[in-house]
Each structure stands twice: as structure tokens, then as C-alpha cells.
Chain A
């Protein structure tokens, strides 16, 4: 079935380094949402992107939605230990807006 892939699956960085996770869909998306799940916790909504080429920032986090609305990225500048967790993208298919398709997630580990 429809899949939304994320790369990398895991990323270990030194505190202060940057981090990027990429989300790719084979099908055009109506919108894309990003969630963060801390270890042992539940996903928490970060942001939603709707427009082609849209870029949004939240402090050290920058989110982009591709021009073709098939890919997205999350970039964290100067990571901190509080950034540890798994980041999921979730896309809404343009032809079926009933349900979100969650990506496979990128697990970020930050070493102090």
C-alpha cells in the first residue's frame, strides 16, 4: 500500500550539530504534518504544511514542503539533548483525505 518513507532511520549527533530528516511519498500529498515522540512517550504535534514549497520555522526547527508536494524535511539547527526522540512525518493523500499516512520515523540521539 501507500507508504511514506523517512530517512535516515537513526541519527546520532553531538550536541550542537545540525540534524535533518527527510520524508518522501510516491503520491502527491494534500498536506503534511510533523510529530515528535520522546522515548517512552506518545507523538506530539509539531506543525502542519499545506502549500507547495512552504517553509515554516519554530525556533531552531525548520520545516519544508516540496514543490511537488511529495516530500518534506525537518531541519534542526544546533541540536540540544532535549531534541532526543523520534520524528514522524504524516501525510494526507490528495485523493483520500480520510486518514493520515505516518512515515517510518527518524530516531534522533544527541550526545552531550
Chain B
């Protein structure tokens, strides 16, 4: 699976709670990405980071936050401001940027009750 781990695989939270999804890679990749996948839809970019201590908003960043304090780690926090947080969340990394192959983690399925 390309050396990217996401935990947990399944996550349940009550409405109004913040939750942080983990993403770790040991591929020495500079770039990391978070996507959201809803049933029957493609992947939508939430945030991406091309180097440590720097990140940019994707197409649907509202209600989410990220940090990139280490090259290996890119955690995603789903805040209570996200109106429809229930989804499948995928983390990916690439050597340098989007022109390179993206390697995906196994994903975290978040359900907000």
C-alpha cells in the first residue's frame, strides 16, 4: 500500500465534536494530500501540502484544518463547522507535487451520529 497508513479505519463521532484523522508516510515524499470521497462521486481535494510547515486549501476546505509539522505526518481535523462530515477520507502522498504519481492510504470512514 505504498507506505502510507491511516488510522483508524472506521471512526464514529457525535455531532458537534471535532475529530482528527491520522496520516503517516514513510516514503520520504514531500507532498501530501487529503481527499474526501462520497458515494458515487469522485475524489474532492480538501487540503494539500507540498513542503513541511506549508499547506494550501483545496476545493472543499471549509470546516477542516490541517498541520504539517513533520514531513511524515499530515493530520486532518474535521471540525464541528463541517456541515456534512460523514464520508470516506483518503490521504495521499507524492514525491514532489501533483505531476507525480499519488500513493493513497487505505482511508478512514468517518460516521457522525
Which A residues form the contact surface with B (CB < 8 A)?
1, 4, 6, 9, 30-31, 33, 35, 41-45, 48, 88, 90, 92, 97-100, 102-105
Contacts and interface: CB of A to CB of B under 8 A. Distances in A.
Contacts, number: 58
Nearest to A45: B101
Interface of B: 1, 33, 35, 40-45, 48, 50, 56, 58-59, 90, 92, 97-99, 101-107
A105 B90 CA distance: 16
Contacts of A43: 43, 90, 92, 102, 104
A99 B59 CA distance: 10
Contacts of B107: 42
Given A42-B107, A44-B104, A45-B102, A98 B42 contact: no
A88 B56 contact: no
Given A98-B48, A99-B48, A99-B98, A42 B104 contact: yes
B97 A98 contact: yes
Contacts of B59: 1
A17 B98 CA distance: 34
A92 B90 CA distance: 19
Contacts of B35: 102
A68 to B, nearest CB: 20
Contacts of A97: 97-99
Contact of A102 (B44, B50, B103): B44
Contact of A42 (B42, B48, B56, B90): B90
B40 A33 contact: no
Q: Which interface residue of A6, A45, A92 has the most chain B CB atoms within 10 A?
A: A45
A48 B40 contact: no
B111 to A, nearest CB: 15
Q: Which interface residue of A44, A97, A99 has the most chain B CB atoms within 10 A?
A: A99
A78 B33 CA distance: 35
